[in-house]
Structure 1
Amino acid sequence: MLYRITHMLALLLLATTALLAQRGAISGTVYDEDGFPMLGANVVIQGTGDGAQTDFIEGKYQFQVAAGTYNLVASYVGYQNQVIEGVVVKGNETTVLDIAFSEDTGVELDVDVTVTAQALQRGEVAVMKLRQNSDKVQDVISSQEIQRLGAGTAAAALTKVTGTTVVDGKYVYVRGLGDRYSATTLNGLRIPSIDPYRNSAQLDLIPTNILDNIVASKTFTPDLPGDFTGGSVNIKMKALPERFTWGVSASGSYNSQGNFRNDFLSFDGGDRVGLGYNDGTLDGPSILNDPRLADLDVLAANADRRARRDQELAGLVEDVANEFGNAFTIDRIKSGPDYSLSANIGNQFNVGTMPLGVFASVNYSRSFDQYQNGVRGNYLFPSGGFTSLQEVYDLQDSKSVQSGMLGGMLAVTLRPSPSNNITLYTLYSHQGYQEGRILQGSNESKGAAGTEDNFYRSQASTFMERELIDYVAQGDHTLTGLGNININWTANYVSSGQDEPDLRFAEYIKQGENYINDQSQFTRPSRFFRDLTDDTYQGNLDITVPVLQTRNRANALKFGGSYSMKDRVFNERIYAYGNSRGLSFSQAGGDFSVFYGPDNLGVIEQAPNQRNTIGAYIFDNSADPNSYTGSYAVGAAYGMFTYQVLPKLKAIVGLRAETTDILVESKVVEIQRARDNPSQDRIDDNTARIDTISFMPAVNLVYNLTESSNLRGSFTQTVARPNMREVAPFGSFGFLGEPPVFGNPNLALTSVDNYDLRYEVFPDAGEVIAFSMFYKKFRDPIVQTFRNAGEQQFTWTNSESAELYGVELEFRKSLGFLTSKLDRFTVSTNLAYIQSEQRVDAEEVRVARTVDPTYSATRSFNGQSDYIVNANLSYTDAERGWDAMVAYNYFDDRLQSIGAVGSPDIFERGRAQLDLSVSKQINRFKLSLRGRNLLNPAYEAYSEFDRTYIFQSYERGRELSFGISYGM
């Protein structure tokens, strides 16, 4: 049956291709002399009625036509008709023709004739025009440039935006500010985070093959979310095709550290782990659902003692232990290649007279990433006049991660009239990561010297899958009978989650022939089961009313509101291994397959007197506060006014009000409420609540110094919110003996004053020179700090104040101004210099100065680099189909985490990345060759004291990839 369906779809596709093979399309935007879209302009083929009217939303037009060469006529009331001669249309290609009416000459043309090189240039021209006419400071990167950079995800593409870095491959940092101070939206709707420790979305979830452009707004206007300070990143998906289009692509890559290696750490995760899914292999044992476990308290820590004379209990202890079995063996396998596959198809039809567009895409990738011989260390400053840091541990680090990613999109757009547009789409993204990790070496805190016969070892085998399903409905309507009032609405439902089934952790010391893992010194070998689900509902309404149009077309009143609500459920269960009277780990020779083998699990002996001997067994070591439910609701209303104060001066002023309602309750609250006499103190201690309203004014000024240059200035106020994990009052387990992290239910919102100034020049189409300065003042910034407790712990708190300032320089220019021989070369570079200072929590300073009297009371922002540099050199030869780019990225050292009491902070070493991409278009085939991370710098975390102490170091390896695509 599947074969027949596939065969019929293939025949249908070939038939459709043949029918449409000689047809192409013409599309573009019509602008007036001031750069505003012209609504209702006509573009037709001369001498015929074939053509289209620009829509009343964005001033765009499109129509299909047979392949050939045509003369077009552009007309608009009050302007002279203009003829555009010699427009070439090729079969199965789109001719892009943007028209800008001029006050003096009637029409100026910017004509691009194919969807190859010219369309690439046009994409960059369009985003530059978007920047030039924007009401705010923003940077834009087009889908064409993303493709040339070889970026596979939105996160990778954002590394090329001015003042932007990406941390951990997925979290955007704008102007040195962490994800708490950045908002990420997809087509204007917030993308929820599925990581409980992060505020912003994981941008590696979004593949670039569905993107049209990425806009990073650096200044706030009231129609944007109020909780951004560094930047608001809006990812715009591709518009639906003007004609029938389809394409497929495949690529493969090789990294000497990760691919075709025989030492890749792995474990049995099931048959679907390559796709990124748990097929049930990693689910908890089915016996955990047996009601007898609760009735007999089988999973209690003392079940081994009670089971000595209780046969039913002993039988269940035996069954539980056997079903859990041994899960601590890590194998070494041979890894395969990295590869990715993608396909897309779309078309536009007429239902009666109404255009209807459809577009679908699917993508899949698999990768193997690994490093061996890395370094993982920890050092503390001891009290008592020491002049150097004391080693806690210094370990060799080996880590292997194989991942599978599957995603897709299905979209439908209806245009009942040129002034009404409705879009429905669904976005799906799923990722799975299987990881094996071993750390081995010295651990002075546990008495291991790091020699061949005296070393510490910890190991973890994990699988994590993340999934996001986004259902969206959007509408854009222009009321032509009411002065072109525009109404834009959006609503969506997002189901997202993160699942970590059966994370397995164990640690021990080998001393000669002895293997030591006693519980007074080590974390028990444990199995962690964690899952998080979020249900998010969002709605936006924006109404734009043009006013005083006779004075200037920019004048408009815009108002609206939004509401977002997220419900979360987070659960963590921990099952630990106890050992009553079975073999010791030394007697098992340090072999987990023996220590937790069937002969050492459960009931290992039953004496004639019916007294049972219990070996290794399982007990529930979970902490009720570690599971929680939460809700996170933000409502907003705003109003803003754009007014051309003077012929060259435009002002955008407004106010946004946002309500914040956050409620987090640990499982302790649920348990207490179920009791006859609940403890209100325990309920209060396990509940966090924020309920407040914030007002955020904004003033943006744009002064047109010349026709091609702007001076921008702004003052705005924004906020930053804690996430649910940060206010949840529980401590999360720290592997490797790292300190646990506790939430703080007393956190408050951060308020930020933002000052921005930018001078920008657009010398020619697709070119820009921009210089920016910014300053930010924080009140009650949320910072990570020590928790006053008997052992080292971390938490979050509001410090008194902080500030951040910096400058940015951006330059994008064709080298043709030097000599015509360099017309095909374009250089693009941007530089950001940033400084920050935040006050350290007073209690942390007091405690730290008891150890180090010189301890500083200020530090920089976490993740903030002093310097960020991007530089690209590109070459484009449209006639021969060549496209090449060299891309260089560098960020300076940045604060990774604060040190322990009195110890210096830990910084991530700055590093550079060099990528190269070359592609060749051959008819409808495109071949590409890319080299990534060619410099292969070390990823290094360090502290400076009397010398440099390395906390982490590893290399990713150089990567070479080859791809082929076919499309029409």
Structure 2
Amino acid sequence: MKQGFFIALLCLSSFLWGQTSAKIYGTVNDSNGFGLSNADILINGGAINTFTDDDGKFEIPLEAGMYELIIAAYGYQDFVQNIQLKEGENIEINSQLKSLEEETTQLSEAVIVGQVSKEGEASLLNIQKNSVTIQENIGIKELERKGVSDVASAVTKVSGISKQEGSSVIYVRGLGDRYNSTTMNGLPIPSNDPEYKNIDLSIFSTDILSYVNIDKVYNGNYFGDFAGGNVNIMTKQHSGKGFFKLGMTSRVNSNAISDKNFQLQSGINWLGFDKAKNPKSLTQYGFENGLNPKKSGALGSGFSITTGDRFNVGEKGKFSFYLTASHDNDFTSYEDGFLKSGVNAQGVVQGKDLTDYQVYQYSTNTTGFLNLSHQFNSKQKLSFNSLLVNSSTQKLEEGSGYMRDNANEGGLLRRGSFVQNLVWINQLLGEHALSDRMNLNWAVGYNTVQSDMPDRFQNMVEWKSAQNQYVIANSSVSLNHRYFQTLNEDEFVGNLAMDWKFAESDDSYKGKLTIGYNGRIKNRDFEAMQYNLSPVGGLVYADFQNMDGFFNPQNYVAGLFNMTTFSGKSLDPQFYTGEQSIHGGFANIEYQLSPKFFAVLGLRGEFVQQTVAWNTSLDPMGDENEMEEFQFLPSLNLKYEINSKQNLRFATSKTYTLPQFKERALFMYEDLGETVYGWPTTYASTDYNADLKWEIFPNTGEVFSVTAFGKYIENPINKFTVASSTNDVSYANTGDWGYVFGGELEIRKSLFKSASINPVQFTVGANLSYAHTNQELNNEKVFEETKLSNGSRMNANFTNSEDQFQGASEWLVNADVSFVKDWERGGNLMMTLAYNYFSDRIYALGTDGRGNIVEKGLGTLDFIIRTKLNQNLGFNLQAKNLLNPSYERFQENNSETISVLNYKRGMNFSFSINYQF
């Protein structure tokens, strides 16, 4: 039936748009032969006009007659031609515009002059080919073809990159969150979660994107806290004709829609902005939201509004704006779930054994983005970006089964949490050509983050066979509680770089010197308050579906339960504050050693200062810790052009890895499966990196590349289970060394393209990566290096003396096949089948004789259809996670392998419609 529908759709489209009148069409290229996007196509002085697309192509339907055609692009000489067009005639005009100011240094061939699109796959491959340094890019056109709607999903389409299930963590070549960095338009951006160094990339909609640049090889332009990769989000700037676009989406998760018991925490609104206030009182039970969950529908939706335009300002200037606003929400739930925690080396559960584990989740994302750009002339340009993202996640977890010391005969556990993150990023960027030999680029930014967890709650009841009843669990005062957490962060960032060309030879320059500065100053305030609810007296019977029936203002006034905080009756919250400043200066020398051999030597110095202060239940008296260090970071990039289509590249560098605020603050955070705290003695790691890459570009839009890489890390930082009776988790430099080596293979190939104006095309793409990781795990090192001023230490008892890195999959595979059919008047049909696979990876290192907890490898399959019926109307259909595999974690003990977590996420379907005026 589906097949018949699509055949009918094709036939209808061919009938409606297959016939055209006479027209002029063609391609506009720059002086390097690359397609120029958004060039003005003017007929008879602008009486009729259009713009070139991302590949430099255009077409204008016309009646028979004599016309003057003008092609104009900013920074290029105009192309003018008179054309006599006959009835029913199609005339092709292909032009190559000459730049008004040709670049004069050979090295600058890596910089594409004019307004060449950086959204199309072919253009980005051209940039990759000509760049002196190793880089990879993925543009919005490729992301649309693969059905990608957020940046997190986008980067996983790049070789060697994967995302950890259930979190925001991105792994690059086996290295996780702490080893990576995130920037927007070259400026660093903050994390929206105190748990992580990097912002959750899934909160960024592709509506704001031009392309994403992924640097797996370090160069001195970036901050040195880098070993895995830097993800640079390049935001959209409008440069075409004015438009206004509306979009609507409906989405459904197969688990959520079929679950008649789908329920969520009460009191949270649909938009995801509402949050309960901390009552800050022990004299009354003043919480805004109830404990009883509420049933909910499970049909997701979304809408978007996007507009942009460009204007001439004076004789040489142009001003443009781009504005988008959107809201999306989504429902998901787990199916066939179970959870075990605290399994010892003998396979005995010492924590929780929840044989029925359910998760219901509702997520929202509201995004507003504005870009203003003013090009004063060919030498001066200013841009302003403002991005506001409000993301929220409402999650209700329920489980039943054994809970050691709290429900030995079995019990029921429920935790409801609502997290709201508000991120506001503001940037001002300037580009100035001071002379033929000197350029100045600068950027400043101010970012704020507000991350709140308002009114998280937990309820637990245990079964008493003697009473044949469930009673409120009361072996610890914190088993039933309500929790409030806030984080506020302000950050100022800045970049400054000046280029100077030297070594003039034959009207060109062989060398370029870049000197610059990067600065980053941020302040964080974090507070947490927990209200423990404990019944007074003996056994208190409870209806688990009506916990508000006991925990309510009336029963509190009657003295039926107590309410205490972390420190008893004090309303002073736990807190930590963090201040961090990084100031870096760099000098890069690019030089053309021969007609085919290029080199970039980078020298960088960074001064790092980080101060963390706290007052928590682990240290009620409070304390602070300061870390200062200077890092010298050299780098070298070499490129040899074997011929016009092949490059051989080599790169090496030294970088470092900083511990995060939370990892150095004596603050304890209790999650459903583990309790985590920081430790002030954790210090920075040192990283040494090397890459060797061969790449060939057979035809436009095609690439074949092979890469070998290696990294050596001194004093790697790990999250591990402390050897103690509580089995809490903390952070330390767990060994003297660690290393990663492996390889990557990437192929993009056009299998078939018909020779017509509106072609049919089949393309395939695939990338494969292998990473072998190993590190020392040293119990004595942890004991010796973690002593505090009060004499406290941490103990480690690693099961293995050497092991793989956490989160590192040996094998990663991405593959896709696409079919594209263009129609006469701008419409098209695009279908893509995309597959992703990651092999087993360590979730938690084994301790005390227990084996590693491993996340089982799996594959996912997505099918995407995008159709544009004409220049205005389009439909999209996405079917994701079609294989619906089981997500599983298992513990690899010597005696047996034990499954400790299992669930299915269900299949996801969405349908969207958009109309552009």
TM-score (norm 2): 0.84
Matched, 1:617 2:617: no
Alpha-carbon distance in structure 1 between the residues aligned to 2:70 and 2:406:
81
**2:678 aligned to 735, 739, 743, which one?**
743
Shift of 1:220: 1.1
Alpha-carbon distance in structure 2 between the residues aligned to 1:501 and 1:550:
65
- 1:788-799 paired onto structure 2 within 5 Å: 788-798=723-733, 799=735
Alpha-carbon distance in structure 2 between the residues aligned to 1:585 and 1:824:
70
Alpha-carbon distance in structure 2 between the residues aligned to 1:804 and 1:524:
42
Matched, 1:568 2:524: yes
Q: 1:868-921 CA distances to partner (integer Å, 9 max, x unpaired)?
A: 000011111113611111111111111111234221111111111111111222
Gaps of 5+ in 1: 1-22, 53-59, 89-94, 103-118, 294-298, 300-316, 449-453, 605-613, 673-681
- 1:253-402 paired onto structure 2 within 5 Å: 253-259=251-257, 261-270=259-268, 273-278=269-274, 282-285=276-279, 288=280, 299=282, 317=283, 320-321=284-285, 323-324=286-287, 327-331=290-294, 333-353=295-315, 354-381=317-344, 386=346, 388-390=347-349, 392-395=351-354, 396-402=356-362
Alpha-carbon distance in structure 1 between the residues aligned to 2:333 and 2:410:
23
Matched, 1:485 2:428: no
Alpha-carbon distance in structure 1 between the residues aligned to 2:796 and 2:715:
26
Alpha-carbon distance in structure 1 between the residues aligned to 2:267 and 2:542:
29
Is the CA contact (8 Å cut-off) linking 2:666 and 2:679 kept in structure 1? yes
Which segment drifts farther, 129-138 or 662-671? 662-671
The residue number in structure 2 matching 1:464 is 419
Is the CA contact (8 Å cut-off) linking 2:44 and 2:68 kept in structure 1? no
Which segment drifts farther, 958-967 or 545-554? 545-554
Is the CA contact (8 Å cut-off) linking 1:913 and 1:935 kept in structure 2? yes
The residue number in structure 1 matching 2:789 is none
The residue number in structure 2 matching 1:627 is 575
The residue number in structure 2 matching 1:914 is 861
**1:650 aligned to 598, 608, 617, which one?**
598
Is the CA contact (8 Å cut-off) linking 2:721 and 2:796 kept in structure 1? no
Is the CA contact (8 Å cut-off) linking 2:237 and 2:373 kept in structure 1? no
Shift of 1:615: 2.0
TM-score (norm 1): 0.80
* Higher-helix-fraction structure: 1
Q: 1:101-151 CA distances to partner (integer Å, 9 max, x unpaired)?
A: 89xxxxxxxxxxxxxxxx999811110011011122221111111112121
Is the CA contact (8 Å cut-off) linking 2:610 and 2:626 kept in structure 1? yes
Q: 1:423-462 CA distances to partner (integer Å, 9 max, x unpaired)?
A: 11211100122221111112355453xxxxx422211111
Identify if the C-alpha distance between structure 1 residues 616 and 85 changes in structure 2 by more than 3 Å, giving closer, same or farther. farther
Shift of 1:597: 4.0
Is the CA contact (8 Å cut-off) linking 2:759 and 2:822 kept in structure 1? no
Structure 2 SS opposite 1:223: coil
- 1:857-896 paired onto structure 2 within 5 Å: 857-879=801-823, 881-896=828-843
- 1:823-838 paired onto structure 2 within 5 Å: 824-838=761-775
The residue number in structure 2 matching 1:496 is 449
Alpha-carbon distance in structure 2 between the residues aligned to 1:925 and 1:627:
52
Matched, 1:712 2:656: no
Identify if the C-alpha distance between structure 1 residues 424 and 121 changes in structure 2 by more than 3 Å, giving closer, same or farther. closer
Q: 1:336-381 CA distances to partner (integer Å, 9 max, x unpaired)?
A: 3111111111111233333211111101111111114311112433
Shift of 1:731: 2.0
Q: Number of aligned residue pairs: give it.
A: 840
Alpha-carbon distance in structure 1 between the residues aligned to 2:401 and 2:95:
64
The residue number in structure 1 matching 2:743 is 807
Counterpart amino acid of residue 368 in structure 2? G
Structure 1 SS opposite 2:231: strand
Matched, 1:932 2:880: yes
Shift of 1:518: 5.1
Matched, 1:765 2:700: yes
Q: 1:72-116 CA distances to partner (integer Å, 9 max, x unpaired)?
A: 679999x9998899899xxxxxx99884889xxxxxxxxxxxxxx
Counterpart amino acid of residue 940 in structure 1? E
Is the CA contact (8 Å cut-off) linking 2:713 and 2:739 kept in structure 1? yes
Is the CA contact (8 Å cut-off) linking 1:507 and 1:522 kept in structure 2? no
Counterpart amino acid of residue 381 in structure 2? N
Is the CA contact (8 Å cut-off) linking 1:585 and 1:591 kept in structure 2? no
Is the CA contact (8 Å cut-off) linking 2:415 and 2:458 kept in structure 1? yes
The residue number in structure 2 matching 1:140 is 137
Counterpart amino acid of residue 355 in structure 1? K
- 1:238-253 paired onto structure 2 within 5 Å: 238-253=236-251
Alpha-carbon distance in structure 2 between the residues aligned to 1:259 and 1:491:
46
Is the CA contact (8 Å cut-off) linking 1:265 and 1:437 kept in structure 2? no
Percentage of pairs with the same residue: 26
Alpha-carbon distance in structure 2 between the residues aligned to 1:62 and 1:813:
21
Shift of 1:724: 0.5
Is the CA contact (8 Å cut-off) linking 2:783 and 2:796 kept in structure 1? no
Which segment drifts farther, 42-51 or 335-344? 42-51
The residue number in structure 2 matching 1:898 is 845
Identify if the C-alpha distance between structure 1 residues 329 and 832 changes in structure 2 by more than 3 Å, giving closer, same or farther. same
- 1:656-735 paired onto structure 2 within 5 Å: 656-667=604-615, 686-735=623-672
The residue number in structure 2 matching 1:592 is 547
**2:168 aligned to 136, 152, 170, which one?**
170
Alpha-carbon distance in structure 1 between the residues aligned to 2:93 and 2:813:
33
Alpha-carbon distance in structure 2 between the residues aligned to 1:239 and 1:326:
43
Q: 1:242-296 CA distances to partner (integer Å, 9 max, x unpaired)?
A: 22122111121222211364311213224xx210111x5x2123xx3xxxx6xxx
Alpha-carbon distance in structure 1 between the residues aligned to 2:578 and 2:93:
49
Identify if the C-alpha distance between structure 1 residues 181 and 929 changes in structure 2 by more than 3 Å, giving closer, same or farther. same
Is the CA contact (8 Å cut-off) linking 1:572 and 1:622 kept in structure 2? no
Matched, 1:856 2:856: no
The residue number in structure 2 matching 1:839 is 776
Shift of 1:525: 1.2
**1:443 aligned to 403, 420, 430, which one?**
403
Which segment drifts farther, 423-432 or 508-517? 508-517
Q: 1:382-411 CA distances to partner (integer Å, 9 max, x unpaired)?
A: 5xxx5x454543211111111221111122
Identify if the C-alpha distance between structure 1 residues 36 and 705 changes in structure 2 by more than 3 Å, giving closer, same or farther. farther
Shift of 1:593: 3.0
Is the CA contact (8 Å cut-off) linking 1:585 and 1:595 kept in structure 2? no
Identify if the C-alpha distance between structure 1 residues 564 and 807 changes in structure 2 by more than 3 Å, giving closer, same or farther. same
Shift of 1:601: 2.2
Which segment drifts farther, 454-463 or 760-769? 454-463
Structure 1 SS opposite 2:366: strand
Structure 2 SS opposite 1:129: helix
Shift of 1:818: 12
Is the CA contact (8 Å cut-off) linking 1:25 and 1:243 kept in structure 2? no
Q: 1:723-771 CA distances to partner (integer Å, 9 max, x unpaired)?
A: 11111122222435x3x22212112111111110000000111110000
Alpha-carbon distance in structure 1 between the residues aligned to 2:875 and 2:261:
32
Which segment drifts farther, 229-238 or 572-581? 572-581
Is the CA contact (8 Å cut-off) linking 1:478 and 1:486 kept in structure 2? yes
Alpha-carbon distance in structure 1 between the residues aligned to 2:464 and 2:715:
50
Alpha-carbon distance in structure 1 between the residues aligned to 2:209 and 2:692:
30
Structure 1 SS opposite 2:192: coil
Alpha-carbon distance in structure 2 between the residues aligned to 1:959 and 1:761:
37
Is the CA contact (8 Å cut-off) linking 1:191 and 1:201 kept in structure 2? yes
Q: What is the RMSD of the two structures over their aligned residues, measured on CA atoms? A: 3.9
Which segment drifts farther, 528-537 or 509-518? 509-518
Shift of 1:861: 1.1
Shift of 1:854: 10
Identify if the C-alpha distance between structure 1 residues 719 and 587 changes in structure 2 by more than 3 Å, giving closer, same or farther. closer
